[in-house]
Structure 1
Amino acid sequence: MGTIVAVIDKKGEDATNAAVTMLKSLSAEIEICKLATSAITRIEKSLKPLENAYMRSPILVGQIVSKTCSNTMAKCVQPKTNLVFEGHVYYENRASFDTFVTKEQNDEKRAAKLIKQADGDFTFIFPTSDHLIAGRDPSGVCPLYYGENAFFAALASERKALWKIGVKETASFPPGHIASVSREGFCFKPIKTLANQPKIKKINLSAAVRMLQALLKKSVYGRVKDLKEVVVAFSGGLDSSIVAWLAKNSNVTVSLIYVSLRKQPETQSAKQAAEALGLPLNIFEYDEKDLERVLQDVLWAIETPDPLAVSIAVPMYWASEKATRLGYEVMLAGQGADELFGGYKRYVECYIRQGIKETQRMIANDILRLHETNIERDQKICNHHGVELRLPFAEYNISRFALDLPLKLKIEPRTLTRKVLLRKTATEMGLPQTIVKKPKKAMQYTTGTTAALKKIAKKKNIPLRNYLREMFQKICEEKEET
């Protein structure tokens, strides 16, 4: 785990101070710090020695690596490479990846080759003498943002690093793209993306089940094969149960973490689901005061005061915090399954009102925006606590497969049952029927966070949206002064 930054000084002046300022704004636990130009790489055990560094270049990349860095990242934190890399590669041509890391020539071809060939969750940036080259995995699982102003063109794993150097207008780096960044700005090139028209396939349920089962098994195995133990963020529902079940059958010791406000009815349901799966469950319950105590941390980590985002982020904050305290370095979760396989109630409502085509369009749009709406939020929360979040459903081949499925395999036309294919696949994999048939319930409601947030805001006589926005603005102002 860690964070990466990159900056170009548009006036051609040394960018060392800007790069260090960006790194200092990030809250990651530091094991190693790195600054690099196209010619020089400096690696230190803290930021302090880099504060007085003078790299003599208007183009720099920087990185903070935590103690839980992946083997993939460890290869990139070498004195001989100026590459900064965040994330993990699960399946790849070993020689191809080693060449990508060590090759002296920094060109777009090797960047494009990694995105095309590697199955993983990653971002990378490397400097040349006159520009930067950056890239992001096809599913956008690792966060990366970019922006520019009159003085800088910059990229970072978190928006706050860009804000700190005065780049206020930021955007999410498009997944599956590479970018060439110069003083003139950003030039993006698609390499391997989901962003094209879905090609709806003619496929029956049995064939789709076989294909999805194989894809899920491969994805989960790839994400645990380097581990002895792993913890799953568990809700007791279908998605996290599938992930836990497949991890259990991948020769790794699996534990579950369940978090919620106290006295929530779904807690008992989660206990029963864990028992049915035959897996140990760690339950952690909280009250409103606990929620109030973490709100500022959550807002700063996810970088938005949006009430829905905050409601979902709080349980993930607690789960990742407990995962770290229990000694886990990697946490799995079922995020993405609802968008991919038709899990939300709004899809059924759209189907009833507007028909198949409009519902397919809505689902496709949600899949293409999944990195922005859900994944980036959860990744930043987990990175805040130093635990690596791996998401088996958010894998390119699974997403591509889901995009091209006919709607009838997601929503049953007669009964309007959601996630038809995923439920049938879970049955074929041997999951208990009590889990397979369980209705979808949103995390922010089952954990009680939405109701608790509204209650806190009501006590202060202010609408929840205003309460969170004012708190976020105050945090930003305080951080700006430090």
Structure 2
Amino acid sequence: MKALAAILNKRGKNAVNMLVSMLNVLGRTGTDTFCIATQDDITLNSSLEKLSIQGIKSSTALGHVFLKVVAADKPKLLQFGKSAFVFDGRVYSPATENLETVLAQKFQAGNVLTAAETLIKEFDGCFAFAMVENGKLVAGRDALGTYPLYYGENSDFFAVASECKALRKIGITRAKSFPPGHVLITDKQSFKIKRVKTPSNPVKSMSVEEAVDKVHRLLLQSTAERTACLDKVAVAFSGGLDSSLTAFLIQKTGIDVHLIHVSLESQIETSQAEEVARLLDLPFNKFLYSVEEVERDLPKILWCVEIPDPLQVSIGIPVFWAAEKAAELGFGVLFAGQGADELFGGYRRYLTLYTRFGEDFAEKAIISDILKMYENNFERDFKVCNYHNIELRLPFASYPLVELAMGLPLNLKIVSKSDMLRKFVLRKTAEKLGLPKQIICKPKKAIQYATGVDKTLKKLAKKHSLSLKRYLVKIFKESFGKTLGGG
């Protein structure tokens, strides 16, 4: 896993040189292999420079930046007839020992578009793909959007890539987030996007016992799928319910679990997280940071999140640190509890909406946030982890679990207008699993506040006599201008 890119030259000219520029941006933080695929051939090389001088020419081309995370990993590229296919990511369900064989069978059974739709319909995972056939480009993204993918065009090119900066490198300045569960089909004249599969489940009445049983079963299933073939993992650990439950579930599979806690210095939540780690009886790795280290890392974090948004940056910083430390400790995979708050009504604002505007309003807000998790959370966290060559895995980002959560009535998430804990059915599930009561009853505190990052960013902005937004925009422009040549 690492990144992919695909490009189509609208004028029918060679696009491979531009694809190489995109791969150069995507592969800056380390890779094992670079791959370029056209409808005529597939070429691989550990050196992008050597790959770029091999004389590959095509108006439509696919690129892959590959990094091995587990021993069985290898580039997933196929070439047959006048078609080529590149796949990046991970399929968790259905389990398959040889994904390449399965993919080949699907492509040989029908046309490229049909095969692309079948992948999205049948696979639950974190992935994106691109393919070329007879000058047409087709791309797709997993149904929840856990794998980041962007698309855009200018007068010369149409392109997709795992990061916006790769599109910006070739002059596409208005990239859009690729809609999850969709496929895109384009040729030299036009493009269209087609919905294939997105989560949807009308709210229905359900007993607490039935809901707990279903959440329990799907969480165990999702964790088992995401830990297959692993012997040790790191967990981004705040000491709250979501990260504790994630670590607890992985521990139940028999895998070696190490907790990684990051924070600014002198935060009370650090000692609380340490106490929770003792309750879980898991190794606790604590890393504390100074204001100066936040300032030092800001350009790199803005490079990852690709937007000077205060909320995105303040959440991205602790994820960046956790991934960095996971890599330093020798881990290839980092688990996190991301998604639980959206699925089970964990944010305080849901309670506020319920209190002020009623049940229907709060339910609609939760569903809206679930459908936007890819833009609000997954893209940021995946790119931040990718910077450190760490693969992010999220047990709560399971398609069956997401659909179940969308159908749960509000009273199973927020019991009443005085329910300050929220996430009722998830806490009952944690109780059934045997998670210690002290953890189950722990109130939520947002990561940017618990780690002290939000306050520190405001302090840094004030030091420069700027608002936080203007301060981040300034660093963002400096970082991207230097690296991408201002383009």
1:390 maps to 393
Question: What CA RMSD, in Å, does the superposition of the two structures yield over aligned residues?
Answer: 1.7
Which amino acid in the other structure matches residue 17 of structure 1?
N
Q: For residues 45 and 62 of structure 2, what CA distance do their matches in structure 1 show?
A: 14
Query: What is the alpha-carbon distance in structure 1 between the residues aligned to residue 71 and residue 161 of structure 2?
Result: 19
Cα distance in 1 for partners of 2:406, 2:321 equals: 32
Q: Does 1:442 align with 2:446?
A: yes
Alpha-carbon deviation of 1:189? 1.6
Corresponding residue of 2:248: 245
> How far is the alpha carbon of 1:416 from its aligned partner?
2.1
- The equivalences for 1:94-109 within 5 A come to 94=96, 98-101=101-104, 103=107, 107-109=112-114
SS at structure 2 position matched to 1:476: helix
By how many angstroms is 1:356 displaced?
0.9
1:452 and 2:453 matched: no
2:430 is matched with 426
* Selected match of 1:233 from 212, 233, 236: 236
Checking the alignment, whether the CA contact within 8 Å between 2:78 and 2:86 is kept in structure 1 is no
Q: Which residue does 1:267 correspond to in 2? A: 270
Mapped to 1, the partners of 2:196 and 2:71 lie a distance apart of 24
Partner of residue 477 from structure 1, selected from 475, 481, 486: 481
- 2:183 aligned to 174, 178, 194, which one? 178
Match of 1:153 among 150, 155, 158: 158
State the Cα deviation string for residues 367-425 of structure 1 (Å, max 9, x = none). Answer: 00000001100000000000100001011111111111100011112532411111111
CA contact (8 A) 1:93 1:117 kept: no
Partner residue of 2:74?
A: 74
CA drift at 1:96: 7.5
Shift of 1:49: 1.4
Q: How many residues are aligned here? A: 479
CA contact (8 A) 2:76 2:100 kept: no
> Structure 1 residue 199: deviation in Å?
0.7
Match of 2:331 in 1: 328
The residue number in structure 1 matching 2:39 is 38
* Partner Cα separation in structure 2 for residue 466 and residue 474 of structure 1: 12
Are 2:151 and 1:143 equivalent residues in the alignment? no
- What's the TM-score once normalised by structure 1's chain length? 0.96
Change (3 A) 1:93 1:114: farther
* Conserved? CA contact 1:200–1:406, under 8 Å: yes
| Residues 7, 154 of structure 1: 8 Å contact kept | yes
Q: What are the superposed Cα offsets for residues 225-258 of structure 1, whole Å, 9 maximum, x if unpaired?
A: 2100111000000001111001000121111000
Q: Distance in 2 between matches of 1:383 and 1:69?
A: 15
Structure 1 unmatched ranges of 5 or more = none
What is the aligned partner in structure 1 of residue 93 from structure 2? Answer: 91
Partner of residue 309, structure 2: 306
Contact 2:234–2:257 under 8 Å retained in 1: yes
Task: Give the C-alpha shift of residue 90 in structure 1.
Answer: 1.4
Counterpart code for 2:240: G
Q: Secondary structure at the match of 1:12?
A: coil
- Quote the Cα distance in structure 1 between the aligned partners of 2:22 and 2:190: 19
Moved more, 74-83 or 121-130: 74-83
Q: Provide the TM-score with structure 2 as the length reference.
A: 0.95
1:364 matched to 2:367: yes
Letter in 2 for 1:390: R
Partner deviation per Cα, 1:324-345 (whole Å, 9 max, x = no partner): 0100010100000001100111
Letter of the structure 1 residue corresponding to residue 368 of structure 2: N
For the pair 1:129 / 2:130, whether they are aligned, the reply is: no
Percent sequence identity is 42
Secondary structure of 2:174's match? coil
2-side partners of 1:47 and 1:274: how far apart?
Answer: 44
